[in-house]
């Protein structure tokens, strides 16, 4: 069984719930086990991720806005494979900013129907895995 380490930079609990549901579904369909780390604020990104480059993840799900008023885009992207980073903002300009940083994959959130987000995320994750 393949172990996949995922870092989720997201502060919205409903979105996190949808992400975890997608991961559970993929685990049931594929021979994969996910190790999931969720970080809900940009300060923890700086302290726990950027200052510890020895901590490695296979996939990064990257929102932009943080409830503390900062940006998850402070994550040091050189510690990640840009092909395995998915920008998951609900704001098109923030996803465009992620693309400008070199991120190739975008799954936009629409809070009025997160099931579309979940389906698109599932497709991207299966492609990466």
**How much is the pLDDT for 70?**
80
- CATH code at 2-128: 3.40.50.2300
Q: What percent of the chain has pLDDT over 90?
A: 87
Residue 48 has pLDDT above 80, yes or no: yes
For 49-85, what is each residue's pLDDT tens digit?
A: 999 989 999 999 999 887 777 888 889 999 999 999 9
Domain ranges of the chain: 2-128
Cα 99 to Cα 4, 32, 41, 77, 82: the distances in Å are 24, 28, 21, 12, 10
Residue with tokens 């300060």: 43
Read off the tokens for 53: 């480059």
């Amino acid at each position: 069984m393949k172990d996949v380490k995922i870092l989720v930079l997201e502060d919205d609990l409903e979105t996190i719930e949808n992400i975890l549901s997608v991961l559970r579904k993929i685990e049931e369909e594929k021979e994969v086990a996910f190790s999931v780390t969720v970080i809900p604020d940009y300060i923890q990104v700086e302290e726990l991720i950027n200052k510890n480059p020895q901590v490695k993840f296979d996939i990064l799900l990257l929102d932009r806005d943080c409830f503390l008023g900062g940006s998850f885009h402070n994550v040091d992207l050189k510690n990640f494979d840009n092909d395995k980073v998915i920008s998951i903002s609900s704001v098109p300009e923030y996803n465009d900013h992620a693309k400008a940083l070199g991120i190739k994959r975008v799954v936009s959130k629409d809070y009025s129907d997160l099931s579309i987000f979940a389906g698109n995320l599932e497709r991207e994750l299966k492609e990466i895995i």
